[in-house]
Amino acid sequence: MRRIYRKIEQIVGNVITVVAGEVSYGELATITTPEGSSLAQVIRLDGDRVSLQVLAGTKGISTNAEIRFLGHSMQTPFSKSLLGRIFTGSGEPRDKRPAITENLIDIGGPSVNPVKRVTPGNMIPTGIPMIDVFNTLVESQKLPIFSVAGEPYNSLLARIAMQAKVDIIILGGMGLKHDDYLFFRDVLEKNGALTRSILFIHTAADPTVECILVPDLCLAVAEQFALQGKRVLVLLTDMTNFADSIKEIANTMEQIPSNRGYPGDLYSQLACRYEKAAAFEGAGSITILAVTTMPGDDVTHPIPDNTGYITEGQFYLRNGRIEPFGSLSRLKQHVNNRTREDHRSIMDSMIQLYALYKESFEKQSMGFRISAWDKKLLRYGERFEHEMMDLNVNISLDQALDLGWYILADCFQPAETGITTKLIEKFWPDNTRMSIA
Amino acid sequence: MGCKCGSIESANCHCGRIVGINGNMLTVEFFDSVKQNEIAYAILDDIHLKAEVVRTRGRYADLQILEEPKGLKVGGHVDFTGELMAVELGPGLLTQIFDGLQNPLPGLAKQCGFFLKRGMYLDALSRDKEWEFTPAVKKGDTLSAGDTLGTVPEGIFVHRIMVPFSLKGRYSVERIATHGSYRVSEIIAELQDMKGFLIKVSMVQKWPVKIPLNCYHERLMPTDTLMTKIRMVDTFFPVARGGTFCIPGPFGAGKTVLQQMISKNAEVDIVVVAACGERAGEVAGTLREFPELIDPRTGKSLMERTVIICNTSSMPVAAREASIYTAVTLAEYYRQMGLHVLLLVDSTSRWAQALREVSGRLEEIPGDEAFPAYLESVIAAFYERAAIVKLRDGTVGSVTIGGTVSPAGGNFDEPVTQATLKVVGAFLGLSRERSNARRYPAIHPLESWSKYWSIIKSEDLKLAQKILKDGNDIAQMMKVVGEEGTSIDDFVMYLKSEYLDAVYMQQNAFHAVDGAVSAERQRYIFNKIVKTFGTKMAFHSKDEARTFFQILIQKTKDWNYMAMESDEFQKIEAELDKMIGEVAKNAQNIPEN
């Protein structure tokens, strides 16, 4: 059986077409040119015409380049020695250390049987009140961080990586600026967390197609660790680049676009990756936090929109803060009834009051007369923003809840908070002037 | 003479050969003949991958493959079955969890472990389990399709074993099994048609999912309210048994929580949940939670009345399209037993997207947002399968369908929402503003509508709706003219609408008492609120009015959390009455302004 071909029929974008037989769908091939070699993946079969997407891009590929079919689909090595290592989007070492070839596993494997999933029940404490109190992160959750270019989403991700209590961190960078890559590497190294981390980094300078493989590589490795009982946190940044790469390939393949040029299967493509987040019965778990920068700060753009329907909530990062409106952790109900009895009430009433504050603030800005009630709200809103929303606040959940009560007691009468009498009697602080460090 | 595929056994082995693969679309050259929508298997070594014929052109058929196509090759062998996609119907469906192709997921987990394995197809109904059959007919009786042959107990229900729905004409009973235990595949009856042809009947039968099951006497008008125990739904936007409703909403507005509330509390016999292209975690939650929850109507676990069809977002897309047909067929099957069935689909948009993906791969001319032109008729045909019907034996059964819609960008003008609104009887539109303000369930009180009957008297309902509307108008105006530009009467009206919103429309889904409110309690509380609104109120200042309503809201919320038969309930009610009484007395002293 001939597995090597030397005649490329067509090169369009990053997709090449060759005439070949006995090729299977999804198979890998290597393309060798005098300048070097690249991997390519079969994405369409039409009679004997085989279309492949070339991971390193088609620049400089000549029509007589050598194409060798490998007979298997994309794989990644998996072993403990991956820890502390940094790879590219095609799985090559980026840290100048030797390549790992042991124990190859397929990437993009089948999905988890829903009956083998466990209902998530463990909170992942992050020390950030806007997450711990208001939108608790839960093991096995998939959550995007919706943001816009210029916001400190990568620093937030790095802080969560440092503070979150998990066993292994896998960072997938897609279209990352080289500076950001160095930032992540240095932060993890400085805090001694690199030894429990694995990095798959595709930088903006690398070929676009490699970007598509980053989530699959990260999640395939994460899955193996999770099956061994580890609690794995996968951090992905930035999924918008991933989706754009998918769009690029789909358009090259002349697929009919559905919405703003994105292919109709964008939802399924994203879901395949995000759904890898799971808690396994009798084993570990995968939790995914993924940055999605919203083009033009528009949440109705197809990428954030489809993402929002897949993930279990979302964090909005705006003006350097996690916005309380819109941000949502869908799984928080599974855990916040077991933390402290006042958790839910503090969460609900503080947000409701903050919403009222926003109205009063608007009134004030428009020059309307401010009532006594408005004044209370304005005072509350400022304290809330300053003491709770600031991302630099690093306190435990208990401290954060206590702080919540102090702020409420400092600004309002008990009845004005809408909290049930039972909790007020138990938690309302006597000394309303107290403050905590 | 052999077949072109190389088989020498038969000249007509009904097969074909793959000539192209594009995503989940196979192009197959066939040698004999194919049927539109028939099922075929693409063969990859020892794995058989299910596929469905969606188009034929000349010698070529386009098949959507219901599994991951990785590894298939051009030249690969395809076997056509000659059968449409069908489900197995029989005792043992309840409490089960199936994928979109009716594979039992717990069975798959037992065989394959943590992950799904493509090409694994198991029997939907256990072949080993024995059922206690009681015959309902005797030799010589004349029957037709859908008539009861006998019954078996299935959990809390009497499961009717019926004459296969696919039989046409009349049949006489030649033999019927005696009372005893049988497996589903054992022959329990022999029927003879008018020409003397004998048909053997077991307890399991097949029915093609895309064809509605209409073995009933007549369709009735859906008039009875289906209690969901959600105040806002039952009172303001009710759903009828045998009717349809949709829940469109942007992500994060609480569609799924609302649907879970309905699935737990709805007053129906059986709930079929179709998780179509949504999160697997939510299904897992339901799977773990339902067996623990007790259905107050039966005293048994909720799982006993539930069937779950689960094709989550990372499972193959084409099977997602099949899953909602599988679900509705199971619902129709139980309707044939005179039961009331509620089918909840989450989400119909994912199903429509599956149609769009297939249509795109077929390179059909795209319509709005690239959805195919037949989207509307497909959605309409699906919702039309909901009905309340009178069966031939006089009993009444129903299928109620509720679907969530996930409109792109939360914009209700998109094609799936619009096509759905045309055919449903109730529209529970969720709003992002309300969910951002944590006002759950975030059903928009002014945009939603229902064509069915509320449990509340219509004049009271009109009053409440008027207060909501006026309150909203005043709130809008206040944004422009400020509080100082608003008269105190208007301001009180605004506070009244906020009060109604806070204590009646908002409901805590996770609270034991507040989470499910009976019709009796809804009427009681609603009457109390209407009475409050009828009380003449006057205040010296807006701040005084606001404080009064804040306390009133808190007390009424406390009241909502108390069981109706408890002492606290009466105690708080007395306090509320006192507050209202006082404000009414004060009103006589304050002149109208």
DSSP string, B514-568: TTS--HHHHHHHHHHHHHHHHS----SSHHHHHHHHHHHHHHHHHHHTS-TTSHH
A291 and A173 together in one domain:
yes
The domain total for chain A is 3
Question: Do residue A188 and residue A327 come from a single domain?
Answer: yes
Structural domain that includes position A368: 343-427
Domain B93-102+222-450: give its CATH code. 3.40.50.300
* Residues A35 and A100 both lie in one domain: no
Please tell me the distance from the alpha carbon of residue B138 to that of residue B178, in angstroms, as a whole number.
Answer: 10
ipTM of the modeled complex = 0.84
Residues A312 and A271: their CA atoms lie apart, in Å, by 11
Q: Give DSSP secondary structure letters for A252-278.
A: HTTPPEEETTEETTHHHHHHHHHTT-E
- Predicted local distance difference test score (pLDDT) of residue B10: 57
Rounded to a whole number of angstroms, the distance from the CA of A380 to the nearest CA of chain B is: 17
pLDDT digits (tens, 9 = 90+) for B226-266: 999 999 999 999 999 999 999 999 887 888 889 889 999 99
A434 pLDDT band, cuts 50/70/90, is: very low
The CATH number for A114's domain is 3.40.50.12240
Query: Are the C-beta atoms of B498 and B445 separated by less than 8 Å?
Result: no
DSSP secondary structure code for residue A310 in this structure = H
Q: Could you list the pLDDT tens digit for every one of the 593 residues in chain B? A: 456 666 555 556 788 999 999 988 999 999 888 999 999 999 998 899 999 999 999 999 999 999 889 999 999 999 999 999 999 999 999 999 999 999 999 999 999 999 999 989 999 999 999 999 999 999 999 999 999 999 999 999 999 999 999 999 999 999 999 999 999 999 999 999 989 899 999 999 999 999 999 999 999 999 999 999 999 999 999 999 999 999 999 887 888 889 889 999 999 999 999 999 888 888 888 888 888 888 877 888 889 999 999 998 888 888 898 999 999 999 999 999 999 999 999 989 999 998 998 888 888 898 888 899 999 999 999 999 999 999 999 999 999 999 999 998 888 999 999 999 999 999 999 998 898 778 899 999 999 999 999 999 999 999 999 999 999 999 999 888 888 889 999 999 999 999 999 999 999 988 889 999 999 999 999 999 999 999 988 899 999 999 999 999 999 999 999 999 999 999 999 999 999 999 988 888 776 54
The beta-carbon neighbor of A256 closest among B287, B315, B370 is: B370
Among the partner residues A117, A326, A369, nearest to B483 by beta-carbon distance: A369
Three-state secondary structure call for residue B294: strand
**CA A43, CA A26: separation in Å to the nearest integer?**
6
Q: Which residue of A has its CA nearest to B431?
A: A326
Report cis status (omega within 30 of 0) of the bond before B415.
no
Q: How many CB pairs under 8 A join A and B?
A: 224
Minimum Cα–Cα distance from A333: chain B residue: B510
Domain B458-589 is of which CATH architecture? Answer: Orthogonal Bundle (1.10)
Distance of alpha carbon B313 from the chain centroid: 17
A118 close to B (CB below 8 A): yes
Taking the Cβ of residue A287 and every Cβ of chain B, the question of whether any pair is shorter than 8 Å is answered with no
CATH of B130-203, one of 1.10.4080.10, 3.90.190.20, 1.10.1040.50, 2.40.50.100: 2.40.50.100
CATH 2.40.10.170 placement within chain B: 15-84
* pLDDT value for A56: 87
Contact, A132 vs A126, CB < 8 A? Answer: yes
Q: Chain B contacts of A111, Cβ < 8 Å?
A: 115-116, 280, 312, 314-315
Nearest residue of B to residue A352 by CA position? Answer: B437
Instruction: Judge whether A246 is closer than 8 Å to chain B, CB to CB.
Output: no
CA pair distance B116, B121, nearest whole angstrom? 11
Q: Write down the mean pLDDT value for chain A.
A: 91
Q: Give the span between the Cα atoms of B486 and A420, in whole angstroms.
A: 31
Q: Where in chain B is the domain with CATH 1.10.1140.10?
A: 458-589
Cα–Cα dist A312/B256, whole Å: 11
- CATH architecture, range B15-84: Beta Barrel (2.40)
Chain B (202-261) residues lying within 8 Å, Cβ to Cβ, of chain A: 250-252, 256
Please state, in angstroms and rounded to a whole number, the distance separating the CA atoms of residues B28 and B15: 9
Rounded distance, CA B382 to CA B211, Å?
A: 10
Q: Where are the beta strands (DSSP E) in B23-156?
A: 25-30, 38-44, 47-57, 60-65, 77-84, 86-89, 97-98, 130-135, 142-144, 148-154
- The structure tokens listed for B570 are 């009466």
